[in-house]
Amino acid sequence: MKPSSLTVAVCQMTSSDDVEANLMQMENLLERIPDSAGVRAAFFPENALYTRLIEGEKIVGVEIHDEILRALAVIAKKRRLHLHLTTPVRLEHHVYNASLHINDLGEVSPSYQKMHLFDIALVNGPSVRESDSFRHGSGLKILEIDGWKFGQSICYDVRFAELYATYARQGVDAILVPSAFLVRTGEAHWEVLLRARAIESQAYVLAPAQAGVHHGRHGGMRETYGHSLIVDPWGTVQARLTERGPAVALHTLQSDEIEKVRRQIPMKDHRRLPVSF
């Protein structure tokens, strides 16, 4: 039976192209979560274990049995805690921008591959072609933790409402949006998109982000927007990380808050357009 509440942690990072340093940062963030808080799941941002900071540098991607993931699995098992992280992952000879789930038994599994890849050119800003390095994911995926259903997405996915309409039809309790928004687009669109996704899905939104200035081992630099958020099903921001670096926010999700919103505005009874993938 699904518990009526679930306490979670949203972990903000300033990752680099140094995988070992990023692992240490993740471990330090997990140490900030007290056992007494009763946290059942910790969520990390996009590019958690590797952020490319020199354009054109080859992205290899971790594999499911890599030692770096075994180190996190040991922590998950010891703390009886679910971990969710997003990073370049090699699956079946292809590299994906993907999320991984490490359950509280220390078992590692791929849980979602980013569907919408970030191929953009900002006026007076950077050009980015994510599809030069990554393969497109093939479909949406729901992750279940203690009976709670999490609809998964990654960063640029947040701009495609049809993805979340499908999750809403499947009655997810929360939506995950691990991200690494650039400053310019973050200032313009980050919060409004996340709050809209919570309102239209009538679900919590958990959005761990990369934040601050990232420096590469051999040069290269990038700045990300941060402002990791937890938004409730009414669209109210319940937690916001304003630090320009690593930080943690805890929040207890409440099923009665979800049901209260859905009773007041019964959108599932009013939908008229079909959504299919």
Q: Is 112 left (phi over 0), alpha (psi -120 to 50) or beta?
A: beta
Torsion, Cα of 238, 49, 63, 132 (10° steps): 100
Q: Which residues of 134-148 are buried (b: 16+ CB within 10 A; e: fewer)?
A: bbebeebbebebeeb
Cβ neighbour number for residue 275 with a 10 Å cutoff? 14
Partners of 224 in the beta sheet?
182, 212
CA distance 45 to 13: 7
* Residue 101 Cα distances to 22, 35, 61, 81, angstroms: 17, 20, 16, 11
CA distance 109 to 152: 14
Written as six digits, the tokens of 149 are 């259903």
DSSP β-ladder status, 5-12 and 41-43? parallel
**What one-character DSSP code corresponds to residue 214?**
E
What are the residue numbers of the active site?
46, 114, 155
CA distance 63 to 86: 13
